[in-house]
Amino acid sequence: MNWPIIFDALPSLINGALLTLQLTSTSVLLGLIAALPLGLMRASTSKLLSGLVLSYTFVLRGTPLLVQIFLIYYGLSQLSWIRASFAWSMLKEPYWCALIAFSLNHSAYATEILRGGIRAVAPGEIEAAKALGMSYMLRTRRIVLPVAWRLALPAYANEIVLMLKASSLASTITLMELTGTSRKIVAETFSPYEVFISAGLIYLGITFVCVQIFGLVERRINRHQHRPLSKKGREPGEVSTDAASQDRFIA
């Protein structure tokens, strides 16, 4: 171990980690905003809507994220009408391309997780809402989404950690986030172990903090329950929260 190299690299690595965090949180936010209507459509009884969304999530979850990034970054610049459009000012920047690819990818996974949660809402609760005369919008907002969100959270927390790790792919299109920065330093110093392992430890630290925060959130939103949902011993007849994680591809 060459300690001076680690100390010299640390400030740049931390700067890289900040970009990693920024990329991850922005894509998670954008992905989630897109996933909300998509998840509702996917869980709806309409075969057409559900099928349309399924084809979207199927393509995005069935191809490597790296291919998606390259398609957007290298592929789109080939089309002259894109280069002539106003979107080009964004699409020529690797930062925006990575962000678009990550957000699309995340929205697909989040949609399927949300669908799992929505489908796991007890039918009796929805029937009760209908019996009270609630409109679709009202019962979705007051009954379905709050329950679905609680059921889907454990799987979704996992997905966010996967998104954090997937953000390392931004380094392949020259972005200097944590992995990109460490690759650059390794190329300059040729000390792969010291630098890559330091970067790995930073990732581990971020993951650890994420997992802790989501543990707290989970406990908080399930505080009305005698037994937390995430632990063993669910209510009889309740679909397990793993239902959402069981039928998804891991990023």
Partner 1 sequence: MPDLHGFGGQILSGAFTTLEVALTSLIFGLVIGLLGATAKLGPIKGMRVLAGAYTTIIRGIPELLIILILYFGGTVVLSTLYGDYVEVNAFTAGVFSLSIVFGAYATEVFRAAILAIPRGQIEAAHALGLGPVLTFRLVMFPQMLRYALPGLGNLWLSLLKDTALISVVGLEDLMRKASVAAGTTHDPLTFYAVAAALYLSFTSVSLAGLNVLELHANRGVRVLGGERR
121: closest CA among 29, 239, 235, 221?
A: 239
Could you say whether residue 87 binds partner 1 (CB under 8 A)?
no
Name the burial class of residue 166, with classes exposed (0-12), middle (13-18) and buried (19+) by CB atoms within 10 angstroms of its CB: buried
69 or 153: whose CB is closer to partner 1?
69
30 or 239: whose CB is closer to partner 1?
239
Residues 175-194 that bind partner 1 (CB under 8 A): 179, 182-183, 186, 190-193
Site track 41-80 with partner 1 (rule: CB under 8 A), x = hit:
-----------------xx-xxxxxxxx-xx--xxx-xx-
204 or 213: whose CB is closer to partner 1?
204
Could you say whether residue 18 binds partner 1 (CB under 8 A)?
no
2 or 135: whose CB is closer to partner 1?
2
Q: C-alpha angle with apex 22: 76 to 195, nearest 5 degrees?
A: 95
Tokens 């699409």, located at residue: 91
Closest approach of partner 1 to the CB of residue 48, in Å:
21
6 or 129: whose CB is closer to partner 1?
6
Closest approach of partner 1 to the CB of residue 165, in Å:
4
| Chain centre to alpha carbon of residue 86 | 28
Closest approach of partner 1 to the CB of residue 217, in Å:
19
Could you say whether residue 197 binds partner 1 (CB under 8 A)?
yes
100: closest CA among 79, 75, 81, 117?
A: 75
4 or 200: whose CB is closer to partner 1?
200
- Tell me, by CB under 8 A, how many residues bind partner 1: 49
135 or 246: whose CB is closer to partner 1?
246
Could you say whether residue 251 binds partner 1 (CB under 8 A)?
yes
Site track 199-218 with partner 1 (rule: CB under 8 A), x = hit:
xx--xx--xx----------
Residues 116-175 that bind partner 1 (CB under 8 A): 161, 165-169, 171-172
* Residues engaged in binding partner 1 (CB under 8 A): 58-59, 61-68, 70-71, 74-76, 78-79, 161, 165-169, 171-172, 179, 182-183, 186, 190-193, 196-197, 199-200, 203-204, 207-208, 239, 243, 246-251
